[in-house]
Chain A
Amino acid sequence: MSVSSVFPQLEQLLPRVSKPIQYVGGELGAVVKDWDSTVVRWALMYPDAYEVGLPNQGVQILYEVLNEQPDVLAERTYAVWPDLEALMKENGVPQFTVDAHRPVRAFDMFGVSFATELGYTNLLSALDLAGIPLLSADRTEDDPVVLAGGHAAFNPEPIADFIDAAVLGDGEEAVLEITGIIREWKAEGRPGGRDELLLRLARTESIYVPRFYDVDYLPDGRIQRVVPNRPDVPFRVAKRTTMDLDAWPYPKKPLVPLAETVHERYAVEIFRGCTRGCRFCQAGMITRPVRERSITTVGQMVKEGLEFSGFNEVGLLSLSSADHSEIGDMCSGLAEQYADTNVSLSLPSTRVDAFNIDLAQELSRNGRRTGLTFAPEGGSERIRKVINKMVTKEDLIRTVVTAYSNGWRQVKLYFMCGLPSETDEDVLEIADMAHEVIRAGREAAGTKDIRCTVSIGGFVPKPHTPFQWASMDRPEVIDGRLKLLKQAINSDRSLGRAIGFRYHDGEPSLIEGLLSRGDRRVGQVIRRVWEKGGRFDGWSEHFSYARWIEAADEVLPGLGVDLDWFTTRERDELEVLPWDHLDSGLDKDWLWQDWQDSMSEYEQDDCRWTPCFDCGVCPSMDTEIQIGPTGKKLLPLTPVNNLRVPA
């Protein structure tokens, strides 16, 4: 049965919504295949607005990997803004893909990539618009399998009732394996229906199917245990790790949108994973071990990516890009190759040392200077030991002064507020540091015309990190500290004028905390919030703290818990955590030890340069650190000119 485009109906609505181009597709790199000549069909969603979702690397990579298979079709869908959502409901237009405008419900798989938990309400909107029952239990063979991925999938329990399955970790190989399972099941004539398909997925031991697990609770509200409710599924589900990134050089054909999006650049992941060991950082913990892409593959990808896309900006991305073993040669080689062009190269610069400035100097050789950002994360020496961010105040001042004396006029400093064991004094030291930076910077630059921006993010404890047991501070505590900090920064007029101050209120962080460490009971809060109109919770103009509080108060007391229980409560060593049956490779005993070390301000070095500290990932996942240097260099590019010059 063929599936037709909903564009004729959608087209009538587009003149009435803002930025209609975001719903039209037509990107370079987009693929439209014939429905009937494919066997397995995926709809991939990034559950946020198109302008945020389109540049997402994860979706772009899986889209390309899947579409390279001749019998597989993959299309994309994004969250629609409330103006179009209302018109779609009124006119019966279902959630559609932007590629061929096919209804999402017609696909075999509906894969949703959650970079953050704040996309959960948008999942419900998409399911509702698609005509797919919100609850997994209510779905039939006419509905796609709803699959969650992305970092939030390492604890999908809050959305366990709404999804059919989740994949933890790298998706490149996982989507192909899932495709194979569906292909086979379809070829056999769909034996056993939907249940059998989900069972086949669960039996891989690396795809989590929540319905096959029961959660029992203790009278005090804690989890007693999470166990399979059938004999043939594993007790624990393991994450995926793609080894050898050189074998997976995606995206080769990056999507180039017509609409304006948050990033207009060709992004290359230069490595995956991080073992710096920052204790708050979920990304660093769940993506181990470090796997580098070699300098030559990166060079090749940049060349082909720019030629294909026409972008004039390249981002060399990773969790800590200056740590790549070949980063020096990579930056100077690329700077040389693109010296006489308008291509700008950028490195998310967060490492606090002079080397980072050398790299930035190198990348800005053709005159395009991007900002410099350093992330000491904690204001005091003490709190930096707690979070394992090994930077001294002297390091930071020296680094920033080097930047100013090399011609930078503006640097950004990134910190967190609300960290475990944090006091007012820890946060107030940020003001001292910023003052010191400006004072020393003015001297080094020989001008008063320098600035620094202090940017503060709220700490949210995340699953699979040493801080997974930590209590959160209440929003009023955070807001109070930020107020004190602001006063302290402005206590010296002359210095304060040169310091910008940006921060987020404590309220959204508390809700993110609820969703990050929540269990299945939190799903009812999400649903309640969505029913009350909650959408786009990652956007401050759409997020409503009052709505979340109201929904939590309506739902949770009946279940014997409350918002504080999930957020401001510290967990003890023996508590069963909602994600304990999901295996990130990290040894829980090691995480607990690292949490104890944190409280005694004991630092942990990086296993790339010191002996293995037994976090558990490599042996349990059968992986190993993959780093260079390869000793290779980037060669000069030969200029291309496709256009013949007339005689």
Chain B
Amino acid sequence: MVQRLRLRYAKRGPLRFTSHRDFARAFERALRRAAVPIAYSQGFTPHPKISYASAAPTGVGSEAEYLEIGLQAPVDPEELRVALDAALSPGLDILEAVIAVEGSLADRIDASQWRIELPQVEEKTAVDAVAAFLAAEEVLVERMTKQGRRSFDARAAVTSCTVTQEADLPSGATGVPCAIIDLVVRQVTPAVRPDDVLSGLRVVAGLEPPVPPRVTRLAQGTLTAQGVIVDPLDTDREGAGIGGR
């Protein structure tokens, strides 16, 4: 392995229903289609060197998924980005590729920003529910995990939660109200996901969206004391600027 690259990619539109396993298979095929000189692990069944940062749940869109690949020959990151993007179905889009300078992706990600669209929910309803949620010290919700049904707090991990309303929905359904929740959640164990926060809104304020909410991850990274999420590729970009390739 002579080069490590870090990629940011998006899951958009209908392809947000791609599961992580589905994406991983498609990505390995894309590496072959684009003739990327990927490095392989040793052993009887060699695996391509790919590692993923925490993946968004199936059905949730994302503008900020990250992965890292190891290469056996150096390539130009932008050419690789273009080639890989062309080799994937539209909707699975490679947005950025940088040369990794140091550290690991996982160390640079401790929070996510999510947008939750709630069609047919009035802004006022959402504002009241969010206020009740934030006012609570603890909001217990339940979810099925591998260990069975589990109850945990969905409140503490939420560092910010605000409501806006947009006239035009990305889905194109105009004319109906649509409350939009902007949410920042810290990475904790067990993970608090957007649907856990939605469960929390139901628990504290009885918010029952009449149609399935549409969720998108907007950013992942390190959460600063000021509440800003720092792009995990920033360090690599700066490193490349100083040290060159």
Contact = CB atoms under 8 A, between A and B. Distances in A.
A367 B117 CA distance: 51
B75 A27 contact: no
Contacts of A342: 40, 46
B33 A307 contact: yes
Q: In which size bucket is the chain A interface? A: 35 or more
Interface string B22-36: 110110111111111
Contacts of B171: 8, 11
Given A20-B58, A26-B14, A643-B75, A256 B29 contact: yes
Contact of B31 (A16, A23, A310): A310
Nearest to B21: A260
B132 interface: no
A14 B40 CA distance: 36
A264 B92 CA distance: 19
Interface in A21-35: 21, 23-28
A640 B25 contact: no
Contacts of A15: 59, 212
Interface stretch (B79-87, B136-144, B152-160, B224-232): B79-87
Contact of A12 (B19, B91, B211): B211
A22 to B, nearest CB: 9
B25 A641 contact: no
Nearest to A30: B89
Q: In which size bucket is the chain B interface? A: 35 or more
Interface in A1-25: 7-8, 11-12, 14-16, 19-21, 23-25
A638 to B, nearest CB: 12
Contacts of B44: 367
Contacts of B21: 260
A445 interface: no
A645 interface: yes
Given A643-B75, A644-B76, A258 B18 contact: yes
A23 B15 CA distance: 10
Interface string B144-178: 00000000000000000000000000011100000
Interface in A245-267: 256, 258-260, 264
Contacts of B17: 14, 20-21, 23-24
A21 B19 contact: yes
A642 B30 contact: no
B37 interface: yes
A646 to B, nearest CB: 5
B75 A646 contact: yes
Q: 8 closest pairs, A vs B, by CB? A: A310-B29, A310-B33, A310-B32, A20-B17, A15-B212, A24-B14, A26-B89, A646-B76
Interface of A: 7-8, 11-12, 14-16, 19-21, 23-28, 256, 258-260, 264, 306-312, 342, 367, 640-646
26 contacts: A8-B172, A8-B173, A12-B211, A15-B212, A19-B19, A21-B19, A23-B17, A24-B15, A24-B18, A26-B91, A256-B26, A258-B18, A260-B22, A260-B25, A307-B33, A309-B29, A309-B33, A310-B29, A640-B35, A643-B36, A643-B75, A643-B76, A643-B79, A643-B83, A644-B75, A646-B74
